[in-house]
Amino acid sequence: MVSILFGILMIFVAAIVVIMILYKITEFFKIEIDMSWLKELIPDPFGLIPEKIVVDLGAPIRSWLDGLVSSLKDAMITLFNIITTPFRWMRNFFEGVLPPTLGSYASIIALMVIAGVVLLVAYLIIKMVRD
């Protein structure tokens, strides 16, 4: 169970590293053209000729990466919500069942129940593998 969760986490980490590398690669696609030579040829009393012209050929890739980042973020939020939902249900159940004086212990009891279920599942898996 832990190795599956670790594998899912490593997939997200690998995707984040690849996205960071692609963002760095898009920085090499910027071209700056120096326009000072044009000012020497043509008088420019109004300052309409720019000093540099920047051509960014990496902008389409960067906008695609921005969409990929938002999709990855949404996927991670969904995954974390799936993981935390049973705990929230259990905590809300115990908050409703316990008297108000013991309601603050609902989170602890929910953690104990979920840990017990995880240990039970691990025990059953080990027992099935050995038999």
Mean pLDDT of the chain: 85
Separation CA 27–CA 59 (nearest Å):
9
Which of 52, 30, 25 has its CA nearest to residue 39?
52
Confidence check: pLDDT of 2 > 70: no
pLDDT digits (tens, 9 = 90+) for 68-106: 889 988 988 998 888 888 888 888 888 888 888 887 888
The percentage of the chain sitting over the pLDDT mark of 70, rounded to a whole number, equals 98
Domain ranges of the chain: 2-130
- Long-range pairs for 73-82 at CB < 8 Å and ≥24 separation? 75/12, 76/12, 79/8
DSSP class of residue 58 equals T
The whole model's pTM is what?
Answer: 0.57
Q: How far apart are CA 1 and CA 121, in angstroms?
A: 9
Mean pLDDT for 116-125 is 90
Q: How confident is the model at residue 35 (pLDDT cuts 50, 70, 90)?
A: confident
In the chain, the largest separation of any two C-alpha atoms, in whole Å, equals: 90
